[in-house]
């Protein structure tokens, strides 16, 4: 038997994250500088297109390669293989070649789907994120996770595919509904609970400023969350270990989203998922009860306490989480915490243990 080897050198990739207001011209100048001869296509949902599409395409028209904006029906229900196939068809019909840059312009659904399209079109074309929601700016646009949902569960089809740049324009947050804005705060709370006790305290001490969109308050919060996630992703890009800490609350949260047929927004679902994760952490790992109560109280003060696990049967929740990407050996794996700063990753949970947390308030 003869053995052959391939040694691949992975190129160091530096990804700029730009945070500010009214970044349309800055985005165009970046594209002109980095991709002067590429074709530029924008992917957005119809809500963002209606609100901001004309303004963005006006900025991008200064690029000689700007071609078109393609949109799809807004909402998690569109995040599937059928929608991405339609986007592939439109791009290929427009003669999008390997010298294409896809600008993902919208919230988390758009970023995940446009990223998946970019990763698969011609085996990969350039991707730039322009997130327009708080959830996307602090979480989903960072780290290179792209994909779509499957009938069996959320985000089961996808890839790790890094963008070349991310432009987080906080001006777009001013047009969000109160519900959508608070939806993104669940991920902000997550960073505080699992990675940054000072951020957690800051949120607790400034509830009024957190709830109300205040650019002077929210911009540094966004920058802090981005830096926290960058620090984790730099250590573990493909989620083989540490990056799983960012799944705090997501195992049950994703199940709630699926069982609600995505009628429950992501942030509201993972807020309840985080409450369950905290209770499991206390029951199994002696995570301090005080921290369980603090997290729950913060969600209540933010209005993120409208979803309850008791709205769903334990059997339904269990059956969904068995198909979660993190499941191993027919057992779901949770991100839990031992202390405020010490996680326990890929922790196997038995059904009875989940039931105990399910029944505990």
- Closest residue by Cα to residue 358 from 308, 290, 319: 308
- Number of Cα atoms under 13 Å in the Cβ half of residue 24: 14
Our answer to whether residue 179 is catalytic in this structure is no
Our answer to whether residue 239 is catalytic in this structure is yes
Expressed in angstroms, the distance from the first to the final Cα of the chain is 61
Our answer to whether residue 3 is catalytic in this structure is no
Residue 41 · residue 96 · CB < 8 Å? yes
Our answer to whether residue 266 is catalytic in this structure is yes
Our answer to whether residue 145 is catalytic in this structure is yes
- 59, 79, 266, 326: the active-site residue: 266
- List Cβ neighbours of 50 (8 Å cut-off, separation of 6 or more): none
- 154, 229, 258, 279: the active-site residue: 229
- 76, 187, 257, 272: the active-site residue: 187
- 52, 63, 79, 243: the active-site residue: 243
Our answer to whether residue 319 is catalytic in this structure is no
Our answer to whether residue 5 is catalytic in this structure is no
CA torsion sign for 81, 84, 89, 92 is negative
- 38, 63, 129, 145: the active-site residue: 145
195-202 own/partner pairs: CB under 8 Å, 24+ apart: 195/228, 195/232, 195/245, 196/224, 196/228, 197/340, 197/341, 199/224, 199/225, 199/228, 200/294, 200/298
- 76, 239, 257, 272: the active-site residue: 239
Residue 79 · residue 72 · CB < 8 Å? no
Alpha-helical (H) ranges within 45-136 are 46-48, 54-60, 81-93, 108-120, 134-135
Our answer to whether residue 34 is catalytic in this structure is no
- 63, 254, 326, 333: the active-site residue: 254
- 129, 190, 224, 250: the active-site residue: 250
- 5, 123, 329, 342: the active-site residue: 123
- 247, 275, 282, 326: the active-site residue: 247
**What residues act catalytically?**
123, 145, 187, 229, 239, 243, 247, 250, 254, 266
């Amino acid at each position: 038997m003869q053995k052959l080897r391939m040694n691949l050198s992975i190129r160091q990739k530096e990804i700029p994250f730009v945070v500010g207001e009214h970044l349309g011209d800055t985005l165009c100048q970046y594209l002109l500088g980095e991709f002067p001869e590429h074709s530029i296509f924008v992917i957005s949902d119809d809500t963002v297109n209606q609100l901001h599409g004309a303004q963005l395409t006006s900025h991008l028209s200064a690029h000689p390669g700007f071609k078109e904006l393609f949109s799809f029906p807004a909402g998690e229900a569109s995040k599937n293989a059928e929608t991405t196939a339609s986007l592939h068809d439109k791009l290929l019909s427009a003669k999008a070649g390997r010298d294409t840059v896809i600008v993902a312009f919208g919230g988390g659904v758009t970023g995940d789907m446009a990223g998946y399209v970019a990763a698969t079109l011609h085996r990969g074309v350039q991707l730039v994120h322009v997130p327009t929601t708080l959830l996307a700016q602090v979480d989903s646009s960072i780290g290179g996770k792209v994909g779509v949902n499957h009938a069996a569960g959320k985000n089961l089809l996808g890839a790790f595919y890094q963008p070349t740049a991310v432009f987080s324009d906080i001006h777009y947050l001013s047009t969000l509904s109160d519900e959508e804005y608070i939806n993104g705060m669940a991920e902000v709370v997550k960073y505080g609970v699992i990675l940054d006790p000072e951020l957690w305290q800051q949120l607790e001490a400034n509830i009024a400023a957190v709830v109300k969109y205040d650019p002077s308050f929210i911009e540094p919060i966004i920058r802090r969350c981005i830096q926290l996630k960058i620090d984790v992703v730099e250590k573990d890009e493909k989620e083989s270990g540490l990056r799983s800490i960012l799944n705090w609350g997501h195992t049950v949260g994703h199940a709630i989203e699926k069982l609600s047929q995505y009628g429950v927004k992501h942030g509201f679902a993972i807020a309840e998922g985080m409450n369950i994760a905290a209770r499991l952490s206390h029951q199994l790992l002696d995570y301090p009860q005080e921290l369980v109560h603090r997290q729950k109280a913060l969600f209540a003060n933010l209005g993120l306490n409208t979803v309850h696990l008791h709205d769903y049967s334990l059997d339904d929740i269990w059956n969904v989480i068995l198909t979660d990407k993190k499941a191993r050996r027919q057992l779901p794996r949770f991100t839990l915490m031992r202390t405020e700063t010490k996680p326990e990753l890929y922790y196997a949970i038995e059904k009875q243990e989940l039931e105990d947390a399910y029944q505990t308030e």
